Amino acid sequence: MLTLRRAAGVLLLCLSLAGIARAQDNKNMDTKPITILSYNIRHGTGMDGKLDLQRTADAINRQAPDLVGLQEVDVNAKRSGIVDEATILGSLTGMKPFFGKAISFQGGEYGIAILARDPDAVMHSHIPLPGAEPRTLIAIKAKTKEGKPFVFVNTHFDLQQQHQIESAKIIAGWMEKLDGLPAILVGDFNCMPNSETFLELTKSWKYVTKGKPLPTFPAPKPSREIDHAFITPTHSWELEDIQVAQEPLASDHRPLKIEIHLK
C-alpha cells in the first residue's frame, strides 16, 4: 500500500511539473500570434490583366496581417502608372511601408517591400543579391505587442539555380551578424522543397511547415511550392498555423500566411 501511495505521489508530482512547464511556455508566448504574409503581387496586376492596387490591398486586409513581405513591387515605373506602389499599399492597409530597390525599371524602380503594423519598425538591412535580373533582400527590425524584438526578412530569388544558391549563402553570412536575434525569412524563392537551393537554405534556417503541401503558384490552380518561410533560432519560435490564402485573382501567386509566436 505504501508503494502505491508513493507511486501516486510521484505521478502527481510529474503532472504538476508538466503543468508548470506548459504554463511557462504559454507565458513565454504572446497572447496572440504574429500574423505574416508572403505575397508576390505581380506589381498589382491580376490574372485578368487588370492593374488594381485596391484589389491587392483587399487581398492583404482580408488576412489581417501584422507583417507582409511583398515581391514584384514597382515605384514610379511606367507600366504601373508612375506611382509608388509600396506607399500606396501602406496607406490602403494602414501599415508602415519599406521598399527595397532591386533594379531601375521603366523610369522608376522595381524590387520588394515590407508592410509593418508596428509603427516603430525600422529598416535593418538592404543588400543586393545576384541574378540574371539582379535581386535583393530587405529586413526590418520590429517588436511584438509585448515589446520583444525580432527581425523580419523578405526576398525574391532569381530563376536560375546557381544564383539562388549563391543568394542563400549570402543570406547565411548576413544572418551571422544578427547575433542570435530571432528572425523570420519569407519570400518567393523560385524553388521547390528538396531542391538544391532549398537544402542550402535549410543549412542556416529552419523551414516553417506543418508537413503539408503549400502550393502558391499559379494562383488559379496552385501546383508549385515556391513561396516559403524560414525561422532562426528554432527555439525562439512556436508555429501556430501556416496555410495558403484563397486568393486566385489578384496576382499570379497566392499569399502564404503564417501565424507564429515569438517565445
Domain with 162 in it: what CATH number? 3.60.10.10
| Same domain membership, residue 142 and residue 58 | yes
| Same domain membership, residue 234 and residue 175 | yes
Mean per-residue pLDDT over the chain, rounded: 92
Q: Please report the pLDDT score of residue 179 as a whole number.
A: 87
Retrieve residue 47's grid coordinates. Answer: 490574372
Give pTM, 2 decimals. Answer: 0.89
DSSP classification of residue 168? H
Dihedral sign for Cα atoms in the order 64, 66, 70, 76: positive
| Same domain membership, residue 190 and residue 65 | yes
As a whole number of Å, the end-to-end CA separation of the chain is 44
User: Chain centroid to CA 190: how far?
Assistant: 14
Which among 9, 66, 3 is positioned nearest to 34, based on CA atoms? Answer: 66
- Pick the range with the lowest mean pLDDT from 19-33, 34-48, 78-92, 193-207: 19-33
Its domain, for residue 6, covers 1-30
Number of domains in the chain: 2
| Same domain membership, residue 19 and residue 96 | no
Quote the CA–CA distance of 52 and 49 in Å, as a whole number.
Answer: 9
pLDDT band, residue 32 (cuts 50/70/90): confident
Q: Which amino acid is at 123?
A: M
Which among 223, 169, 227 is positioned nearest to 199, based on CA atoms? Answer: 169
Q: Which amino acid is at 107?
A: G
DSSP classification of residue 48? T
Q: Please report the pLDDT score of residue 31 as a whole number.
A: 67
| Same domain membership, residue 102 and residue 115 | yes
